[in-house]
């Protein structure tokens, strides 16, 4: 019997998802990619039907078990893009995959999942928490309405904060750590991908982005973040559970030096 490990990677057609799929394949993993196009499974994770199709496709492609899941699929916030789209793709699309594939992960070998957030959740001011709260309440219509009201630019960090909080709440519990599945969150900073290129090219966001500090002196590469995923899925991360790994060249450390971590004051 083959000992090849299997990973599902969403957002596998572009940017960091594509780099992750390539990195894992080079390491010998079997990768099942999910994206809107150019993927093993084409599905729109922004809709209930698309999420169901993605889960059914994974079920058909696998033998009843899965070793890793990485949820890169996501949309950036842009003027003119409805916030509701981000609530549905970034939060509900991500959680549907995590919840839907968890039973397969429970039967995997040293199983692990990495959910993707963003350092914008702690480095952008004015996060509309109503969006985060509606997401965490599992109320997609309310989350979509709140995100439309906020607009996608600020809804973006709110959806990523919701993903992070959901993961932190369930990761140590019986369904995840208790079932032997490590769930962690990766929060990238500015990384050179088509998404960031579009941000830089936007007449409104581009100039704002210029002021976003990256202390190491350059943006990250998709391959660097793929390397971080490889670490998170691998044996050197066996004790990491519910961790939020910020990989951003020092942005969060510079902007939030003494705010985070936040000490416990019962
Ligand atoms: P990208 O735009 O290059 O890739 C995102 C992929 O997600 C695309 O292939 C796209 O088709 C797919 N996707 C979008 N909507 C989908 C849907 N409804 N169903 C299925 N697939 C869908 O972006 P990038 O930069 O590689 O971003 C990947 C993730 O990392 C996103 O979640 C993003 O929010 C996050 N991120 C990106 C940062 C950056 O600086 N590039 C910084 C922090 C987080």
Which residue would you say has higher pLDDT here, 67 or 209?
67
Average pLDDT of the chain, as a whole number: 97
Which is it for the CA torsion 83, 19, 236, 58, positive or negative? positive
- Specify the ligand 1 atom closest to the Cα of 44: 19
Token pair of 170, please?
Answer: 């369930």
Task: Dump pLDDT digits (tens) for 14-51.
Answer: 999 999 999 999 999 999 999 999 999 999 999 999 99
Active-site residue, from 156, 182, 188, 191 = 156
Mean pLDDT of 90-103: 98
For residue 191 and ligand 1, the question of a CB distance below 6 A is answered with yes
The pLDDT score that the predictor gives to residue 211 is: 86
**Could you check whether the bond before residue 162 is cis, i.e. omega within 30 degrees of 0?**
no
pLDDT of 2 above 60:
no
Task: Dump pLDDT digits (tens) for 136-151.
Answer: 999 999 999 999 999 9
pLDDT of 1 above 60:
no
* Dist. CA 8–CA 178, nearest whole Å: 21
Task: State phi, psi for 113 to the nearest 5 degrees.
Answer: -130, 145
For residue 11 and ligand 1, the question of a CB distance below 6 A is answered with yes
The pLDDT score that the predictor gives to residue 149 is: 98
The pLDDT score that the predictor gives to residue 131 is: 98
């Amino acid at each position: 019997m083959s000992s090849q490990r299997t990973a599902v990677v969403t957002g596998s057609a572009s940017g960091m998802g594509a780099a992750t799929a390539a990195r894992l394949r080079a390491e010998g993993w079997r990768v099942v990619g999910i994206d809107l196009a150019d993927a093993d499974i084409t599905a729109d994770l922004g809709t209930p039907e698309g999420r169901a199709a993605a889960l059914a496709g994974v079920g058909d492609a696998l033998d009843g078990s899965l070793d890793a899941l990485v949820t890169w699929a996501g949309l950036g916030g842009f003027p003119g893009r409805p916030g509701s789209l981000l609530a549905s793709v970034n939060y509900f699309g991500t959680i549907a995959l995590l919840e839907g594939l968890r039973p397969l992960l429970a039967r995997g070998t040293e199983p692990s999942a990495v959910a993707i957030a963003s350092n914008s959740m702690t480095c952008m001011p004015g996060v509309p928490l109503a969006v985060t709260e509606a997401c965490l309440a599992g109320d997609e219509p309310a989350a979509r309405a709140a995100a439309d009201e906020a607009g996608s630019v600020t809804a973006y960090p709110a959806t990523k904060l919701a993903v992070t909080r959901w993961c932190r709440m369930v990761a140590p519990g019986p369904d995840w750590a208790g079932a032997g599945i490590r769930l962690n969150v990766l929060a990238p900073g500015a990384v050179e991908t088509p998404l960031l290129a579009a941000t830089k090219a936007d007449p409104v966001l581009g100039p704002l982005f210029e002021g976003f500090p990256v202390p190491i002196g350059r943006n990250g590469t998709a391959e660097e973040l793929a390397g971080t995923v490889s670490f998170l899925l691998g044996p050197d991360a066996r004790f990491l559970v519910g961790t939020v790994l910020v990989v951003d060249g020092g942005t969060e450390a510079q902007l939030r030096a003494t705010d985070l971590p936040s000490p416990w004051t019962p």
